[in-house]
Amino acid sequence: MSNPDITRIDVNNRLADAVIFNNVVYLAGQVPRNTLGQSIKEQTTDVLEQIDRALAKAGSDKSRLLSVQIFMKDITQNAGMNEAWEEWIPKGHCPARATLEAKMNNDQWALEIVVTAALK
């Protein structure tokens, strides 16, 4: 049964890559595509590029972020992740953010990022 006021993007048997409701887009957790020999900064950049694409597909962008949750395999690598983050986030458009250490579903992933953003 579908809900006409809820839009789901790229749905499979487990999840949707994005869900839109009340002019807010909720992205599924984004993880690195390429992990082989990649530093935390490189993995973070990869994930942030995926977030850019997913937000664009939903009709938003990183200047519209409301909330971000960053789950890291090793929180002591926070500096490298923050370096990539600070290069990516538009000045003056920082969202509410939480960063925490968590066990990853795949041992090769250094992080997973979940974002919520307003539509344009």
The pTM for the full model equals: 0.94
Range 6-28 average pLDDT:
97
Based on the structure, what is the number of domains in the chain?
Answer: 1
Residue 3: pLDDT above 80? no
Answer whether residue 100 is part of any domain: yes
Q: Extract the runs of DSSP E, i.e. beta strands, from 1-120.
A: 6-11, 16-21, 24-27, 65-72, 96-101, 111-118
Domain range spanning residue 88? 6-118
Q: What is the tens place of the pLDDT at every residue in 48-90?
A: 999 999 999 999 999 999 999 999 999 999 999 999 999 999 9
Residue 7: pLDDT above 70? yes
Answer whether residue 111 is part of any domain: yes
Answer whether residue 33 is part of any domain: yes
Q: Report the CATH number that the domain containing residue 66 is assigned in CATH.
A: 3.30.1330.40
Answer whether residue 1 is part of any domain: no
Q: Which of 63, 64, 43 minimizes the C-alpha distance to 113?
A: 43
